[in-house]
Each structure stands twice: as C-alpha cells, then as structure tokens.
Amino acid sequence: MKFRILNWIKKSFQIHNAIAAAEAGAHNSRTTRPETNYDHYDVEHVYGKGVDPDTGAPPSIITQMLNSLECETAYTSVGIFRHGGGREEYELTWKKYKKDGDATPIMPLLEDSLMTAMFLKRLLMGIIDGLIPFMLVVQAVADAEEKLKPDEKLDLLPVSVTILKQIPNRHLSIVISVLNYVARFILPNSEKNLMNAKNMARMLSPIFIRVETEPTMLTKTGLGIDVLECLLDHWDEAVAEIGNLSPARNAAVPPPLPPPAPSELTSTNSIQPVEGTSAETLATVSAAQIATPSTKSSPKEPKKKFRLFKSCCRARSDL
C-alpha cells in the first residue's frame, strides 16, 4: 500500500508538470502559430540535475520533490486540442525515452476533462504548500489498510479522526481535498467509494465544529452536493463523534440535544426547501436539530446548531 501511494504521488506530480507544459505550449502556439488546430509541445525535465532547456531556470520545487522520490528523467509529450467556443482539453501522454530513441509509454492518457485536470493541478499545488499534512494522510491510510482483514473494507472515518488529532487548522482544506481524491480515484470499487463518501461526510462535521467555520467550505473543495446531503443526514451523529477528537476539546463541546417532544415543535421551526434540495432531508433535520429546546437544555446550544444549519442551507442555495 505504501509503495502504491508513493507511486501515485510520483505520477501525480508528473501530471502537474505536464499541465504546466501544456499551458506554456498553448501560450507559445497562440503567439507563434495561431493558424494550427493541433500543437505538439515537448519539454525535457532533468530532475534535480540540470536546468530548464527553454528558460535556463533552476529546478523548481516540484522538480526537487520528484528528485527526492527518485523519479526518473523523462520527456513530457503534451498534445493540445482546440475546440469551438474557446474550450481546450489536454491529452497527456508520458513516454520514457531510451538512449536508442525507443519510446515506451509509462502512463495512460488522462481520461477526464480539462476541469478535472485543472482541479488536480490546484490540488497538487495545495499538497506542495502542505506536504507534511499530506504525508500524514498517506501514512494514516497506509497503516489502516495494513490492519484490514481479507474481506474487510477501508473506513476513512477513523483514519480521518487520527489525522485531525495531528494537523494544524490551516491545512484542513488540503486534507479534505486529498481524502476526497483518495476515495474517488485511488479506491477502485464504486461501492467502496460510495461508502467512504458517506463516512467523509460524517468526518466533515467535526472539522467544521473544531475550526468554527461555516460549511460553505464544501463548495470550495469539490465535494459536491451529494456529500452536503450526507452531512445534513449525519449531523447529530457527527456532533457526537466530536468527543473522540481529544479530551481537551471534549469538555468544550456541548453534548447533542435530546430528541424534542412533539408538543415542542412549532411552525416557526420549519424550513422551506431551496431549489434542488430534498424536502424530506430538510424536514428530518429541521425536526431533529432545529426544534425549540426544552427548559432543561442550555439556550446557547440550539442557537449554535441553528446558525450552522442555516449556513448549510446557504451553501445549498449557492450551488
């Protein structure tokens, strides 16, 4: 598992370099050969040994990291296709050139669209800024997979709790993005991906409570509306899960509210569904989490949960 993830890191940085080369090639082709429909741009990467053959610049931080991962010297071949309406898609082909000139593909074509490629680029740039927390993710996932029984599936929730205990607040969005990428692309089974998406939704609520931020972070990490729905469905469960993060925070976080009596529900507590929102989901969360508290409950607890829930609704309406 560890070697497989390290190999993925290596190839991911290669994709980043290929996208950067494609952008440079697109810029050059627009200024020098605008009449062509297809441009081919080759750039040589000498990892940690030489300089950029075109600009003479020293190796970048990505190059140095690749060198530390013992990435081989390679040529990057990037084809840039132009379509109507100004849209572009990158076809990334990686080839390892031998001394005799024979080329052997070392990575398949990137099957996804330009949007996915650019999201991957932004994700990788975030990993560079927070390389240590990303390695915590890698180590935690690797350790968890090594402990799995033959027929057991990986559960990202305990892995996420382990990570939350170690990383600083400023790297949380990076870890969310990496966990999302791991669940969607590294874990091959679609059923397993769905299971981990729900587990990640349970993991996200403690993150929001811990850093006291609004759930609009969901719209900035590419997790999508389906995960937000899971977040609403598992809200009480996630609030209870916050107690496992650390004893110090456990004392500061109030316990979840008890289920309200039917007589306590009023018409002022109902929420009108926004466009694209499941009315059943909102009704469930409205009845269980935003009801008027009993006289035994602290008046501050429902206020905080109501504020966070309204933030969720705003995030839904912004999508």
pLDDT, one tens digit per residue, over 102-148 is 333 322 222 233 333 333 344 444 444 444 455 565 566 667 767 77
pLDDT, one tens digit per residue, over 178-226 is 455 444 444 444 455 445 544 544 544 444 433 333 334 433 444 344 4
DSSP state of 14: H
The band of 163, judged by pLDDT with boundaries at 50, 70 and 90, is low
Task: Please name the residues in contact with 296: beta carbons below 8 A apart, sequence gap of 6 or more.
Answer: none
Residue 131 burial (C-beta neighbours within 10 Å; 0-12, 13-18, 19+) = middle
pTM exceeds 0.85, yes or no: no
Residue 206 CA to residue 162 CA, distance in Å, equals 12
Cβ contact 14:78 at 8 Å: no
Provide the token pair at 270.
């109902």
Asked if pLDDT for residue 258 goes beyond 60, the answer is: no
